[in-house]
A = this chain, B = another copy of it.
Amino acid sequence: MPKRLVIAVDAMGGDYAPAAVIEGVKRAYDRNPDVFFLLFGDQDQILEHVKRVGLSEDAFKIYHTSQVVKATDKPSAAVRYGRESSMWKAIYAVRSGEASAVVSGGNTGALMAMSKIVLGTLAGVDRPAIAAIMPTVNYKQAVVMLDLGANAECNAGNLVEFAMMGAVFYRLLFGVREPRVGLLNIGSEETKGREEIREAAMILRNNKINYQGFIEGFDICAGGVDVVVSDGFSGNVALKTLEGTVHLLKGTIKNALKRSLLARICSIFTLPIVWKVKEHLDPRSYNGGLFLGLNGVSVKSHGGSDGIGHYHALQTAINLARQDLCEKIRTRLEDVILSTDMEE
């Protein structure tokens, strides 16, 4: 029998933890029966939900922890005082080699800080970044965007690093040899935007990366590039504005329906489209922000996720661990950095 893939799960991370997390694990196990889950958190609560969802005893092992990192904890405080937490222990399982990846829906800043300390950054990487997969106008084509909030301020070198890591990540996920990379800016002309972005553009043009130039907020989901690179502040604003706009549209449609009985009746006939669109854009399907640049696979699940959302984050972690993501990023980065150095 081949060795089972092991995933460490912070069962206490997220607004509906541990209930929603265990539902996600159940769903992930049903689809990946060769995966084994280490569940970190309050033993009694975990057991209760394991029974409720009917998770097989072959699927998991519980590591009892008494401490939980709260959403309001400062990352620096969490790192200092949270070493008995489910989050810290789950990350540690990757470092010790017991698990191949860790998933948490808890405090993003704390998860990033702990992951950096426990797993360490890859050689050659200055700043790890949060990356996520997002939908585009074209079915079957996704876009990877980073950084989504790990680094509020970035210099040109950081942006170039994000571009390299993003490209490697996209290649691993979708098999595209030379993903098209764009830099997020506020205009497509070369003279636009901030100094550090213009500098990063100059470096990327003389690099092995398939660099396409500046893109604007409008183009993120347009499918013209595969990887969108930005500082963590603008990236976070863009991601959340995207989510907010989807919500705005839903709300507007709901309001319009309320005002007209005819429209409400008619809407029943369009359920098939609504479902298709929902499936394509469901934020839960894109759940699973990845911390790129670490010595280990650490996946952030959305704090407000339900079971389906956590399942997608777990599935992302499983896929990346199976493909040995970190080793491949390391090799590829070395390759790119070496070739860049030589060209200089």
Contact = CB atoms under 8 A, between A and B. Distances in A.
Interface of A: 72, 74, 109, 135-137, 139, 149, 152-153, 184, 186-187, 189, 191, 193-194, 216-222, 230, 232-234, 236-249, 251-253, 255-257, 259-260, 262-263, 266-267, 269-270, 272-273, 276-277, 280-281
B273 A253 contact: yes
Contact of A238 (B237, B260, B266): B237
B273 A267 contact: yes
B237 A186 contact: yes
Contact of A237 (B136, B153, B234): B234
Nearest to A249: B249
Q: Is the interface of A mostly helix, strand, loop or mixed?
A: helix
Nearest to A222: B244
A264 to B, nearest CB: 9
Given A152-B186, A194-B152, A255-B139, A240 B267 contact: no
A250 to B, nearest CB: 9
The number of times this chain is found in the oligomer is 2
B149 A249 contact: no
Contacts of A186: 149, 152, 232-233, 236-237, 240
Identify which of A139, A186, A194 gathers the most chain B CB atoms within 10 Å of its CB.
Answer: A186
A217 to B, nearest CB: 3
B266 A253 contact: no
Given A74-B191, A241-B217, A273 B256 contact: yes
Contact of A241 (B194, B242, B277): B242
Nearest to A262: B272
Contacts of A280: 252, 256
A222 B233 CA distance: 20
A125 B194 CA distance: 23
Identify which of A136, A139, A253, A273 gathers the most chain B CB atoms within 10 Å of its CB.
Answer: A273
A205 B300 CA distance: 33
Identify which of A193, A220, A270 gathers the most chain B CB atoms within 10 Å of its CB.
Answer: A270
Contacts of A241: 217-218, 220, 237-238, 241-242, 245
